[in-house]
Structure 1
Amino acid sequence: MKRLLTYFKFNKTEQNGFFVILVIIILFSIVYSLLNRERKQEPIAHHARVFEQSFHDSTDVVDYPNKKFSTTAIHLEKNTISMDSSETHRKGDVKLFYFDPNNLSQEDWRKLGLSDKQIAVIKNYEKKGGRFRDKSDVRKMYSINEKLYKRLEPFIHIKKETTTKSTTDKPNLFYDKFETDKAELIDINTCDTTALMSLKGIGTVLSKRILKYKEVLGGFYRIEQLKEVYGVTSETYDLIKDHITISNLEGIKKIDINQIDAISLGKHPYLSPKDAKLIVNYREQHGNYANIEDFAKIGTLSDLAIAKIAPYLIFENDSR
């Protein structure tokens, strides 16, 4: 050390100053190492306290007067989460079918993919005297979002209420029979051109187009399909919609999706030749379709396209 100091030509005073600074540096190093060691001894306990505090902060949404109730709140929250997860799991068991939303059982609503909370809203609406008179009424339910409604809408079939007019309200005039006949609903799946031409806005050409489109489709399963006929404008549809009906769906021609070829399938108005080829190719690669849910596995068809074509298909495990 003396050689080092001599080399730098430190005098006696400078040598003493150097030793003092060296001692101070050593002391600072020892103190710093001791403090740092104490910090590293309890990192888990420190983080545990932080986590515990943040957990209580997140669960104390309600200012409970007694902290013992916070445990109950946590259990309730866990139960709610588990219930929601079960409802989400139930969506995998969705089965679409034709239904009348009026007085539909809770079990059938569940099959359609609704949760217990959504069903409770609908049942409360019915309990208060509410009734679905049109498909749009289902859409107005705040528990049914737009995506769910679009999936269910093609399968909603509300039976129209028939009202009988009292003959005592007016004298029995010669035109009574004419008015009664005119008020009768026309079934667009069984009527002829003459019946269609009795409706306002429907002439010879348009009536033939409607019947031709019905044959190509395999039958109408909802009145709104008339809008797809070339020449049926929104104004024409509004004039005739209250005077037509679909009494039953038994006459709809079904397509055996596990037997039909791509060319024949592509002739249906709701499928393009490209879609038909993809459907048949998927069947040949993965085996027969068991139900309509298998169509979602193709990946190229939209939910709307699947919903529109579904009523015209039959499957291996089809209970419709």
Structure 2
Amino acid sequence: MKRLLTYFKFNKTEQNGFFIILVIIVLFFTIYALLKTNTMDTIPNQAKLFEQSFHDSLELSSSTKKEVENAAHLTNNESEFSVNPNNILDEGKLFYFDPNGLPHADWHKLGLSDKQIAVLKNYENKGGRFKQKTDLKKIYSINDRLYRRLEPYIRIKAIPDTAITKEQRRTPLLYDKFERNTAELIDINSCDTTALMTLKGIGSVLSKRILKYKDVLGGFYRIEQLKEVYGVPAETYDLIKDHIIVSSLDGIKKININKVDATSLAKHPYLSGKDAKLIINYRDQHGNYVNIEDLTKVGTLSDLAIAKIAPYLIFENDSR
């Protein structure tokens, strides 16, 4: 027995090491137990949240549907309806309103951002007025989805005859100029920033950026090239594409492919520095290019890249 006990005798260093290992083991099991408890609690909590949000969405959808159905049966006399707290729906967001002179806070309740409200107020400050529901849709900060949401609740008060007469005599404002200019086609290669700013969605910054890109390109040969301008999203392009033309290609700046150097050629947006060097190296090794088809012999240029750069190239022989 004494011999067996000798195996359980430890010196001072061994005792300290054993104590430290024991503490580490206890901490490990404690942390593991806590993590396991938290993980188990998370799942039922998430399930409860999901179930609650699902039921809330069903109730909200049902409430909204009933209000829209009620709005559809309103008579023409209700066009005199004014905004007041009693008209606010249960969801606290949509209510019947006249967009003319609507306070900033009420636009907020309808779900509009400060930027959208600023555009509306700017229109009003310049003398603009909404005469019918669809006028609200003409404001570029009001997208189709937002308009469809607000449309059933728009109630525009009738304007007295005296007010109409006064409005007809007022000086035409910027918004009126925009409405007239939409029927005029703008030549993208000869217009200035003022003309571009009459287009819906184009401001001073974007108009300058378009003209700068035109200069870098050497001129536009298709209106689709506007999509390449930084800051022109698909929505803006769709708004302006029917009001822009390229009337002539005579003003496009041409690059003589048989005289240009690699550095100058690389400045064009459609060619990289590597592409420009390969084009010039091939010309130096095999002689001048005769036509656009010769560029296919370079090998590294894609058909798309060649098609895009083609309108900007000429193939006059080098006189050297």
Larger CA Rg, structure 1 vs 2: 1
Q: Give the TM interval when normalised to the shorter protein.
A: 0.3 to 0.5
TM-score, normalised to structure 1's length?
0.43
